[in-house]
Each structure stands twice: as structure tokens, then as C-alpha cells.
Amino acid sequence: MKLKFIAAALTALIPGMALADWPERPVTIVVPAGAGGGTDATARMLAERLREKFGVPFNVVNQGQGGGVVGINTIKSADPDGYTIGVIYNFAHYAPMGQADFNADDFTAIAQYNFDPAGFNVRADSEWNTIGEALDAIKAAPDAYSIACGGGCGGSWPIATATLMSQWGVDLSQVRIIAGQGAAGALQDMVAGGFDVVPTSVPEAGPLIQAGRIKSLAVFGDARLAAFPDIPTLAEEVGLELSLGAWRGVVGPMGLDQDVAAELEAAIGDIVEDETWQNQMSERGFGIQWRDADGFSEFMKSEEISVREIVSTLGL
Amino acid sequence: MVAFNSLMLLLEPSTMLVIIGCAIYGLVVGAIPGFTATMAVALLVPMTYFLDPVPALAGIVTLAAMAIFAGDIPGALLRMPGTPASAAYADESFQMARRGEAETALGTSLVASALGGIFGALLLIFAAPALAEISLSFSSFEYFWLACLGLVAAIAASNATPAKGAISLFIGLTIGMVGLDPVFGQQRFTFGNVNLVGGLAFIPVLIGLFAVSEAFRFGASPVARPEMLPLKPAAMFKGVFGHIGRLKLPILRGGIIGSVVGAIPGAGADIAAYISYAVARRLSPNKDKFGTGTVDGIVPATAANNAAVGGALIPATVFGIPGDSLTAVIIGVLYMKGLNPGPTVFLMQPTLLYAVFIAFLIANIVLVPFGFGAIVMFRRILSAPPGVVMALVIMACIVGAFAVENTTFAIAVMLGAGLLGYYLEENEFPLAPVILGIVLGPILESTFLASLAKSQGAFTEFFSRPIAGTLGATTIALVIAPLVYVLIKSRRQAT
């Protein structure tokens, strides 16, 4: 009895050893975002399915403090024993902006399950009717327009817009990117005349688009969104094959046991194929994108390089 | 016809059961210090997965209405606001309860809450699009002035000398500065500690300041705890309607202030109550009694915080923009249930939406009997030995702080805030301005810098927009008028 206890204690202490029985107890999914938001919603949908698959609870723990810094740090510094994993999203900007020291190498990639393209929103009465007109105008006078970033200015939507502008040859160092009060706050501020452009996910802007207050000139994805068939893609409008926006995936701390990672990867792969889960996601306006562990790891590394370039040009 | 169909949806037995369950849950959670209405709703969200849209949403709005009132109960009997929305006048009702007038304080508060809530609900039903229109034209310039108004009100609403009120306010502003700054995302006062990057979280600080400090005070001088205040439920409605009749106008004013402030994104029930209290204090014929425990101070503020929930639901449903953190959670449930907020939902699913609105109206009407029950039960819970109660309070505080933030650091923050609150109270510094400083500081900073960035450094923009100009002039007048008054008075005395 005592021996058994010591063995169990040792197993807990030495990562990667004797994890064959994983999971023996509930698994914690750290969500670096507050309860009720988009990242939280997707994580809970995933957690529910993972519980069904493995027969132990997958408990969502929200740590949204400091724009996610606290939660991401919890994932990074967790024991790699498979009992703490996390949902992660665009995080490459934290390090160059001096907010936290996170690198793609700090995490074991498990799988990406979501991607939401950015939308380029302007006021309904804006003089721009196409993304091409908007980009040309901004290129001609980069400091004449104010562009809002919903949350942090290094986050997914402003970086997507900045990447597009840099491809168009806009002088990024002159562009005025201004912090707004969250996506909803920034959109409302734009309606009130405060901003010229507010990039967000299209579903976030949906109610105001339907109300005829704002228009979205382009969606930064491969195809038009089913829920917003009138918004053209960048490829259609300006011939740029770009896929820019927010992504979400599951990771563990560095050094996570390979077998555990593989089991989770396979399980999430099954979930992403599941039709009811897909419906649940699309009902709430979330896009689905699958990348396996290797693809996801590659993606995070390449994004780290490109985002950090943009951040330094913007001077954030 | 739509209204009738909506009512039919609500009268389903299973829906009624869910609503009653949510009402009781809301009253209990709201009455526990440190547990906010937002938290009660957030904890319920996972359960709404299993419910149909009508019971889920009707239950949640019922819960919100109940929880906001229930916060008044511990405010009066323990001087710990159950929710931040009751913080503005917790001291006022506690002073009354200490004089043996707990029945009047709570009875009047209950009826005024219901009236304010009904006002908000009716406004939600009839004037939703028009009011949303107003708050939608607010840019960062207007928010900046609103935050300034709030800061002025924070000092004006406190009972201490303006100097002590201002010091409390600056402590709050300092607490609000810890963490990533809201504009450039740079670390401030974090000392390289990753826990501090997230800042000192609002709920743990609130719990610490208001609840833990009370427990510390009890710990320091256990005998001198007069908190077990007598309450005779039978006498609860005695004289209440006299007060309500006398205070018709302040209640109406509270309802209007509450709905408008609630509809403005970012400002919720707590700020509505503070502003309403400050306005009532200025306009009341009994203004000298404010701070010593008078229903004249409680009634307008408690009407405002219940009206604010209805007000906050207006932009939430019309444009999908939350009026406060509570409605932000409700919007999440709306999406989850396929009722995507936006003007179209009024056209596409009016029956469903109006069922939710009607449920909110009914919740505010039945608030009177339900709230009465909660007051009676609350009394029974707190008849337990104070030492046990305080231990339970501390436990609830620890659980609450951890549940909101999911970090053990939050518990440390809460205990630290408790020490701060204890020290401030012992030295007669008011606590409410601290809270307002924490809430308004980041808003003030980000709207000021964002506004300047937009106008490329031109200060004139703060006045060139009509609403911003009006708000700005009001704020400046509020600051300058008393100074000019004092100056003139001293000149006259000198000559």
C-alpha cells in the first residue's frame, strides 16, 4: 500500500514516465481569457467532447488577466504531466512588446482547431466602397486615418490589418493605430465617428453590419463566410492570397509526454470531424481549421517571425 | 398578440420552475458579500447549455434583478454590500439599521428596487431603439467626460472631508494603474512578477475592502460588534409606503438615471447607484441627513441600480453591445441560444425576445414577495454566532476571489485589500471612492489618450462634439462652482 503510494508520487514527479494510464484524474484546460468570451466558448465546447472521449472531467480554468499573460504563463510553467494543457491564440506579440516572454518553443503543440479571418470594417457612410480604395487612400496618406485595435494593439486583428497594409506598400511607421475599448467598444466608437477603420472578426461586427451602421469591405480568409456571403475576400478584391486573423489551438507545456500529446491530438482530430461539434461552432460564428501537431508547431514558429517583424515596424 | 404569445411561452410549467429556481439562486448569491450578480450569471452559464432559449434567458434576467436587490440586505445588516451595485448606499442603510430602523431601510429599499426595476423594464420594452441611439453616438471623447464626471461624483458622494475623499480616490486610481497599461500595453508597477501583470483584480479588491476588512475589525475587537442588528419582519412594511409616496420624484429620477447610465456601455448598476446617490444628495431637502442613515439617500440609488439592469439590456439587445459586465455575459447566452442580438432580432424573433423582456418585468414585480422572503431567511442565517458568521464570510470571500480569478494570487490580493480597507476605515477614509478610482481610472486613461491620438493632439476636440462639449462644461462647472462660491463667500466675510 505504502509502496504504491510512493510509486504514484514518483510518477507525478518524473514527467514522461509511466503515463500509460493517462488520464487517471481530471485534466485542467487553462483558458487565457475571461469566462463568456469567444476563446472560453470554444474551449468549453472542446472540453465537453474531451470528457466524453477520455471519461475524466476536462475542467476549464479561466485566467484572462493581463490580456491573457497570466493564463499563458500558467500553461508555460505547468508540469508537463498531461494534466494541465491549455488553449492558446495569437501570442507572438507579447515578447517584442515587452509584456511577457512567450516563444513558440515554450509549448508542445497538440492541434489547431479554429481560425477566424479578420474583417475590415468602416462606417456605413464611408467614402470607401472597396478594400482597394481604402488601401490606396491609406497608402497615399498613412497618417490621415485612425485605425482601432480592439484589445491589445499587437493582437490578431490589428496585426492582420498591418500585414495587409505592408503587403500593399503602406508606410507602416506612419500609420496611426489607436487602442479602443475592446472590439465592441471600438466598433461603437467608430459609429460615433471616433475611428476610420476597426478590424475585428466578422461575427463580432455582425449586429452593426445588419443594422446598417457599418460595412465590412473584405474578409481576410480563403473563402467568403457562409453567414456573410456579401463580404468579398481579399483574393477577389485585390488578388492577395492572404489568410489573416485569429486562431486557436491546444498546447501543453514544453516537454509534454509524446504519447499523451498524440492521444490528445487524435481525440481533437475526431472532434473536429464531428458534425454536431461543427454545427455548434458555426452557430456561434466560429470558423474551423485543423492543423495537426507538426503543422501547428510549424505555423506558430513561422507566425512568430512574421508578427515580430510587423510589430517592430509599427513601433508598438 | 406578440405579447400574449410571449406570455404563453413563460407560463410553461418547466419554464416557471427554472425562473423560480433562478430567482432563489440570485437572491442567495446576491446576498453573499463578494458574490456579484455578474458572477452569479457567469456560474449559471454552463447550465444554460441544457435549457431551451426562453427558460435560459428568462431565468438569467430574473437572477440579475434578484441579485441586484439582494445585495442591499447584507449592506444594511452587516455593512457589506452583497454586490458592488449596493456599495453606494450600504453605509447609509447600515446607519439606519444601527438605529434600529433596519425594517424601514430594507422595506423601503425593496419597494424602491422593484419600482426602479419596473421602470427599467418598461423602458427596455418601449424605448429600446431610441435610447440605444443616444448611447451609440458616444465616442471616446464623451466617455472621457463621463469618467471625469464619475470622479467628481466619487468625491462629492463620500461623507468624509473632500481631502480624505480625494486621497481615497487616488489610492483607487493607483490600484487601477497596476498591470498592463490600457493603451500601450506596457507593464506598470509589476516588479517583474507575472501575477501583477494582470493587475490587482477588481472583485478580490472589492471583497477585501468591504468584507474582509469587516472581519478584521471583528477580529480586532470582537465584543464591540454591533452587527447583529434587530429586524422584525412583521414591521417591515410599516411606514414604507409613506416614504415611497413622499419620495416619488427621487425614485423616478433614480429610475431615469439608472436606465440611462446602464445603457451606456461600461457603466453599470454600481456607477448608476453612485451617480443617483450623489444627485439625490445635491437635490434633496434633507441633504444634511445624508450619511447619517436616511431613506432619502437609499431610495434613489437602489431604484437606479435595479433600473440599470433594464437599461443595460437595451444596447445589448438592439446592437449586441453590452451595457456592463453582467449584460456581456447575457449576450454570450443570447448568441448561444441563436438569438443573435441586433435590430433584426426584433423583426425575426419578437416573440422570444419579448418573452425575455416580459420575464424581466415580472421578475421586478415579484421581487417584493421574493425579496421579503430573502430578508427573513437572511436574518436567520446570520443569527448564527458572529464568530462563525465571520469565519464563513472569510471562507466565502476566499472562494469568491478564487472563483472569479482562478489564481491563488487573487486570494493574497483580497487579504491585502482587506488590511487596506481596515486601515482606511479606522482612520475615517471613505471606501467608495477607492472602488470608483479603480473602475474609472483605466477608462479615463484610455479614453483620454485614445481621444488625443484621434485628434492628433488637439484639445479642442474634447469640446467640439456637441455631447462631449455639454458633458465637459457640466463637469468643469461642477468642479469650479463650489470653489467660486467659497471664494465669494470669503471675500464677503473679509470686507
Alpha-carbon gap, residue B440 to A117, rounded angstroms: 33
CATH code for the domain in which residue A106 is found: 3.40.190.150
B177: distance to nearest CA of chain A, Å? 12
Cell reading at B325: 459586465
Asked whether residue A170 is domain-assigned, the answer is yes
Q: Alpha-carbon distance B332 to B105, whole Å?
A: 36
The verdict on A270 and A287 lying in the same domain is yes
Q: Is the distance from CB of B338 to CB of B348 less than 8 angstroms?
A: no
Residue A250 φ/ψ region, left for φ over 0, alpha for ψ in the -120 to 50 degree band, beta for the rest: beta
- Which residue has better confidence, B348 or A43? A43
Residues A189 and A199 in one domain: yes
The number of CA neighbours under 13 Å toward the Cβ of B39 is: 28
Crossing angle of helices B13-31 and B367-381, rounded to 10°: 50
Residue A250 has pLDDT above 90, yes or no: yes
pLDDT of residue A219: 95
pLDDT of residue B377: 81
Q: Could you read off the pLDDT of B224-240 as tens digits, one per residue?
A: 444 546 667 777 777 77
* Cβ-based burial of B392 (10 A; exposed 0-12, middle 13-18, buried ≥19): middle
- Note whether A149 and A226 are same-domain residues: yes
Q: Is residue B400 part of a domain?
A: yes
Residues of B in contact with A192 (CB under 8 A): 136-139, 142
Q: All 3 cell numbers of residue A102?
A: 512567450
The count of structural domains within chain B is 1
Residue A62 has pLDDT above 80, yes or no: yes
Q: Give per-residue pLDDT as tens, A157-211.
A: 999 999 999 999 999 989 988 887 777 778 878 888 889 999 998 888 887 888 7
CA B369-B371-B372 angle, 5° bins: 65
Asked if residues B39 and B30 have their Cβ atoms less than 8 Å apart, the reply is no
Window 55-114 of B: residues touching A by CB (8 A cutoff) are none
Give B187's contacts in chain A (Cβ within 8 Å): 98-99
Please tell me whether residues A121 and A233 are part of one structural domain. yes
Q: Which domain does B85 fall in, by range?
A: 2-464
Q: Over range B32-61, report the average pLDDT.
A: 72
Whether B390 is in a domain gets the answer yes
A7 falls within a domain: no
Q: Does any domain span residue A18? A: no
Mutation test of the interface with chain B: which of A44, A52, A149, A189, choosing the one with the most B Cβ atoms within 10 A? A189
Nearest CA in chain A to B409: A70
Provide the 3-class DSSP secondary structure of residue A112.
strand
Which pLDDT score is estimated for A43?
Answer: 93
Of A63, A185, A211, the CB nearest to B407: A63
Domain boundary, last residue among A238, A256, A273: A238
Ramachandran class of A315: left when φ > 0, alpha when ψ lies in -120 to 50, beta otherwise: left
Is pLDDT larger for residue B164 or for residue A204? B164
* Last residue of one domain, picked from the residues A210, A238, A266: A238
Looking at the structure of chain A, the number of domains it has is 2
In a domain, B71, yes or no: yes
Q: Report the Cα B318 to chain-centroid distance in Å.
A: 22
pLDDT digits (tens, 9 = 90+) for B355-364: 888 999 999 9
Statement to judge: residues A125 and A234 lie in one domain? yes
Q: pLDDT confidence of A151, banded at 50, 70, 90?
A: low
- In this prediction, residue A26 carries a pLDDT of 92
Question: Domain range spanning residue A190?
Answer: 117-238
**Pair A49, A159 in one domain:** no
Please, what is the end-to-end C-alpha distance for chain B in angstroms? 73
Look at residue B226 in the predicted model and tell me its pLDDT: 44
Mean pLDDT computed over A289-293: 96
Residue A1 lies in a domain: no
Least confident interval from A54-63, A295-304, B330-339, B406-415: B330-339
Q: Give the residue with greater pLDDT, B259 vs A38.
A: B259
Contact between residue B109 and residue B79 where contact means Cβ atoms under 8 Å apart: no
Is B316's pLDDT higher than 70?
yes
What is the Cα–Cα distance from B332 to B326, expressed in whole angstroms? 10
Does A195 reach chain B within 8 Å, measured CB to CB? Answer: yes
In a shared domain, residues A196 and A254: no
Question: Quick check: is B487 in a domain?
Answer: no
Domain annotation covers residue B172: yes
Query: What is the Cα Rg of chain B in Å?
Result: 22
CA distance A23 to A111: 18
The closest CB to that of A180, out of B180, B187, B450, belongs to B450
In a domain, A2, yes or no: no
Residue B287 contacts residue B247 (beta carbons within 8 Å): no
A92, A135, A288, B90, B340 from A230: Cα distances, Å: 32, 20, 20, 53, 18
pTM over 0.90: no
Residue B484: inside a domain? no
Is the predicted pLDDT of residue B108 greater than 60, yes or no? Answer: yes
**Range with top average pLDDT, A146-160, A298-312, B207-221:** A298-312
| Same-domain check for residues A149 and A202 | yes
Q: Which of A73, A192, A195 sits opposite B194 (nearest CB)?
A: A73
User: Does B328 reside within a domain?
Assistant: yes
CB contact B322 to A (< 8 Å): yes
Contact B266 A285 (CB under 8 A): no
Instruction: Name the domain boundary from A213, A238, A263.
Output: A238
Query: Does A88 share its domain with A158?
Result: no
| pLDDT number for residue A4 | 53
Residues A216 and A304 in one domain: no
CATH number of A133's domain:
3.40.190.10
Question: Are A40 and A187 in the same domain?
Answer: no
As a residue count, chain B comes to 495
Q: How many Cβ atoms sit within 10 Å of the Cβ of residue B100? A: 12
Residues A154 and A265 placed together within one structural domain of the fold:
no
Nearest to B198 among A70, A152, A316 (CB): A70
Query: Is residue A6 one of the residues assigned to a domain?
Result: no
- For the segment B1-30, what is each residue's pLDDT rounded down to a tens digit? 667 888 888 888 888 999 999 998 888 878
Q: Is residue B120 part of a domain?
A: yes
CA distance linking residue B202 with residue B208, whole number of Å: 10
